[in-house]
Chain A
Amino acid sequence: MDLILPDFGLLIWTSIVFGLLLIVLVKFIWKPILSAVNTREQNIAESLELAVKTKAEMVAMQAQNENILKEARAERDAIVKDARETANKMIEDAKSNSKTEAEKIIVAAQQAIRTEKAAAMADIKSQIASLSIDIAEKIVKSELASDDKQKALASKLAEDINLN
Chain B
Amino acid sequence: MILKNTIKSIFLSILTICSINSAFATEHKEKKEFNVNEMIMHHIKDAHEWHLWGSEHGGTSIFLPIILIDGGVHTFSSSNFYHGEMKTAIDHATKAEVEYLQGVGPAANYALYHEKIYKLNDGALSFEDGHVHGNVKPFDLSITKNVMSLFFGATILLLIMGSVARFYKKNGAVAPKGLAKFLEPIIILVRDDIAKENIGHLKYKKYVPYLLTIFFFIFFNNLLGMIPILPGGANLTGNLTITMFLAVCTLVVTVFSGNKNYWGHIFWMPGVPVPMKFFMMPIEIIGIFTKPFALMIRLFANMTAGHIIVLALISIIFINQSIAWGALSVPMALFISVLELLVAFLQAFLFAMLSALFIGAAVEEAHH
* Chain A residues proximal to chain B, CB less than 8 Å: 2-15, 17-18, 20-22, 24-26, 28-37, 39-40, 43
Give the chain B neighbours of A43 by CB distance below 8 A: 173
Q: How large is the interface on B (under 10, 10 to 19, 20 to 34, 35 or more residues)?
A: 35 or more
Asked if residues B241 and A7 are in contact (CB atoms below 8 Å), the reply is yes
Give the chain B neighbours of A18 by CB distance below 8 A: 154, 217, 245-246, 249
Give the chain B neighbours of A9 by CB distance below 8 A: 67, 139-142, 144, 147
Asked if residues A36 and B44 are in contact (CB atoms below 8 Å), the reply is no
Interface membership of B157, Cβ < 8 A? yes
Distance (whole angstroms) from the CB of B133 to the closest CB of chain A: 14
Asked if residues B241 and A33 are in contact (CB atoms below 8 Å), the reply is no
Q: How far is the CA of A20 from the CA of B45 in the complex (A)?
A: 25
Partner of B173, one of A3, A7, A20, A40: A40
Asked if residues A36 and B114 are in contact (CB atoms below 8 Å), the reply is no
* Chain B residues proximal to chain A, CB less than 8 Å: 3, 41, 44-46, 67, 114-116, 139-144, 146-147, 150-151, 154, 157-158, 161-162, 164-165, 168-169, 172-175, 184, 187-188, 191, 208-210, 212-213, 216-217, 239-242, 244-246, 249, 304
Asked if residues B158 and A24 are in contact (CB atoms below 8 Å), the reply is yes
Partner of B169, one of A3, A11, A15, A32: A32
Give the chain A neighbours of B3 by CB distance below 8 A: 24, 28
The 5 closest A-B pairs by CB, nearest first: A36-B168, A39-B173, A40-B173, A26-B209, A29-B165
Q: How far is the CA of A32 from the CA of B245 in the complex (A)?
A: 27
Asked if residues A3 and B44 are in contact (CB atoms below 8 Å), the reply is yes
Distance (whole angstroms) from the CB of A92 to the closest CB of chain B: 76
5 chain-A/chain-B pairs, Cβ below 8 angstroms: A5-B240, A9-B139, A28-B165, A32-B169, A33-B187
Q: How far is the CA of A37 from the CA of B165 in the complex (A)?
A: 11
Give the chain B neighbours of A25 by CB distance below 8 A: 157-158, 161, 209, 212-213, 216
Give the chain B neighbours of A2 by CB distance below 8 A: 45, 114-116
Give the chain B neighbours of A12 by CB distance below 8 A: 141
Partner of A13, one of B116, B147, B162, B213: B147
Give the chain A neighbours of B246 by CB distance below 8 A: 18
Asked if residues A17 and B150 are in contact (CB atoms below 8 Å), the reply is yes
Q: How far is the CA of A3 from the CA of B238 in the complex (A)?
A: 10
Give the chain A neighbours of B242 by CB distance below 8 A: 10, 14
Give the chain B neighbours of A10 by CB distance below 8 A: 46, 144, 146-147, 239, 241-242
Q: How far is the CA of A17 from the CA of B11 in the complex (A)?
A: 13
Asked if residues A40 and B174 are in contact (CB atoms below 8 Å), the reply is yes
Asked if residues B165 and A33 are in contact (CB atoms below 8 Å), the reply is yes
Asked if residues A3 and B213 are in contact (CB atoms below 8 Å), the reply is no
Taking A5-B240, A8-B140, A21-B154 as given, write out 20 further A-B residue pairs in contact, using a Cβ cutoff of 8 Å, ordered by the A residue number. Answer: A2-B45, A2-B116, A6-B244, A8-B139, A9-B141, A9-B147, A10-B46, A10-B144, A10-B239, A10-B242, A13-B141, A14-B242, A15-B245, A17-B147, A22-B213, A25-B157, A25-B158, A30-B212, A31-B209, A34-B209
